[in-house]
Amino acid sequence: MEKVIIIRYSEIHLKGKNRGYFERVFGINIEKSLKGIKHEVRRRSGRYLIECFEENQTEMILQKLNKVFGIHSYSVALKVPTQMDRIFEAAKSVCRDCGSFKVETHRADKTFHLNSMEISAEIGGRLLSANKNLKVDVHNPQFVIDIDVREDGTTLVFGNYYKGAGGMPVGTAGKGLLLLSGGIDSPVAGHMIAKRGMNIECIHFHSYPYTNLQARDKVIELAKVLSEYSCGIKLHIISVTHIQEEIHKNCNAEYMVTLLRRFMMRIAEKVAIKIGAQCIITGESLGQVASQTIEGITASNSVIEKLPILRPLCGFDKDEIIERSRNIGAFDISIQPYEDCCTVFLPKHPVIKPDLKTIEEEEAKIDVEKLISEALNSRETLNF
Ligand code: ATP
Ligand code: MG
């Protein structure tokens, strides 16, 4: 019996007139995630079907589909010709050994000689006589066997429902630029926004040679994790070495992190506009560290001129973020002990509540515009 995978979508159906567009993007994303694996995708009355794959690749396909946003649930089904004996054979093989069950039939093929109720009753009855450890419970069954009689003369039979990744198809909610550090938070922030359908590109700031090449590899690995959810990803890498040296040489040490953050934001906004991104995304969480007090956030926020900044983790505790990080497969990479540029020239006592007047006085001691354009020139872009 041939196996097929039935994919049901999430909120896409809510999108009224845009439905066609959402479905198209969703279909393309499914295809991209299964690139290189033999299969065929078909759209059928509000669902997608994956067919014609090698049975021993089922697990791998399901793992890929688990990362496609927009999938509400999926089932692995058996496809048989629409004949009662064949349907029964399939039902028997998906049926559990014992417990209470019911059979639910959906019949698109109105020409078939039995209606849905009759099909359910007959298959249920045959299953009962074949196994004395089963009983029917139509109100509160332990499991359900679904029979889907299609118009093309085939029937799908299944007894499982798996939860999909949820969210919206990536590419249906614009584009954002994620500030990706090597830490735990920013990959989680990117994942959350991609889940809402946004296309993500990443920007990473390093201060090589103060930070080493392993730190860079770590960020590349994190970008690759995100790329599995977002159908590929671009990573822009920018050097802030000279900026940090200039701050270190000329400004009050306590303001290193605050000033660096403001540079990152300014550079990120320029890159975002250049690549057509409509917002900036960070992994900031209120009060988590000195630079993330509301005063710290205000200081970095105030250099942004045009774009909104999304901070999806703002109200999350660290343990909630860690749990998400583990779930998306980023945690083990994030905790590798390589330095981030924020720890270079790190003062003993970073300012916790920076005020704008002092910040501006400190910035007046260096050539901000020149340093920004220098940093922009160091941009290197990688594709995953
Ligand atoms: P993360 O775990 O994401 O590194 P964090 O708890 O270490 O976050 P900070 O170091 O204060 O927090 O960084 C706050 C946010 O600023 C990060 O989530 C990220 O979006 C951005 N950021 C920090 N450092 C960098 C960097 N080197 N390159 C790009 N973005 C960065
Ligand atoms: Mg960090």
Q: What CATH number corresponds to the domain at position 305?
A: 3.40.50.620
Share of the chain above pLDDT 70, in %: 98
For ligand 1, say whether the CB of 183 is within 6 Å of any of its atoms. Answer: yes
Name the closest-CA residue to atom 14, ligand 1.
Answer: 284
Residue 168 included in any domain? no
Nearest CA, atom 2, ligand 1: 183
> What's the total number of domains in the chain?
2
Q: Is the CB of 80 under 6 A from ligand 1?
A: no
Q: Give the CATH number for residue 90.
A: 3.30.2130.30
Q: Out of 163, 197, 215, pick the residue that ends a domain.
A: 163
Instruction: Please give the residue range of the domain that contains residue 213.
Output: 175-383
159 in ligand 1 pocket by Cβ < 6 Å? no
Query: Is residue 121 over pLDDT 90?
Result: yes
Residues 259 and 139 in one domain: no
Pocket mutation for ligand 1, best pick of 181, 235, 269 (most atoms within 8 Å of C-beta)? 181
90/139 same-domain check: yes
Instruction: Kindly report which listed range (13-27, 164-178, 319-333) carries the lowest average pLDDT score.
Output: 13-27
What is the reported pLDDT for 351? 86
Alpha helix ranges (H) inside the chain: 19-33, 58-65, 84-94, 116-130, 185-195, 213-229, 241-250, 256-275, 294-301, 318-328, 331-334, 356-363, 368-377
Structure tokens at 177: 């630029």
Q: Is residue 263 part of a domain?
A: yes
DSSP string spanning 176-231? EEEE--SSSHHHHHHHHHHHTT-EEEEEEEE-TTTS-HHHHHHHHHHHHHHHHHTT
- Is residue 135 one of the residues assigned to a domain? yes
Do residues 150 and 183 share a domain?
no
Let me know if residue 17 belongs to a domain: yes
Instruction: Looking at the CA of residue 187, tell me the nearest atom of ligand 1.
Output: 3
Q: Is the pLDDT of residue 294 over 80?
A: yes
> For atom 22 of ligand 1, which residue has the closest CA?
181
pTM score, whole prediction: 0.92
Residues 156 and 274 both lie in one domain:
no
Find out whether the beta carbon of 128 lies less than 6 Å from any atom of ligand 1. Answer: no
Q: Is the domain of 126 the same as that of 263?
A: no
Decide if pLDDT at 13 tops 80. Answer: no
In ligand 1, the atom with minimum distance to the C-alpha of 291 is 11
Q: Is 340 in the pocket of ligand 1 (CB under 6 A)?
A: yes
Last residue of a domain, one of 163, 186, 208: 163
Residues 6+ apart with CB under 8 A from 243: 260, 263, 371, 375
Q: Whose CA is nearest to atom 23 of ligand 1?
A: 181
> Is the CB of residue 179 below 6 angstroms from any atom belonging to ligand 1?
yes
Same domain, 292 and 225: yes
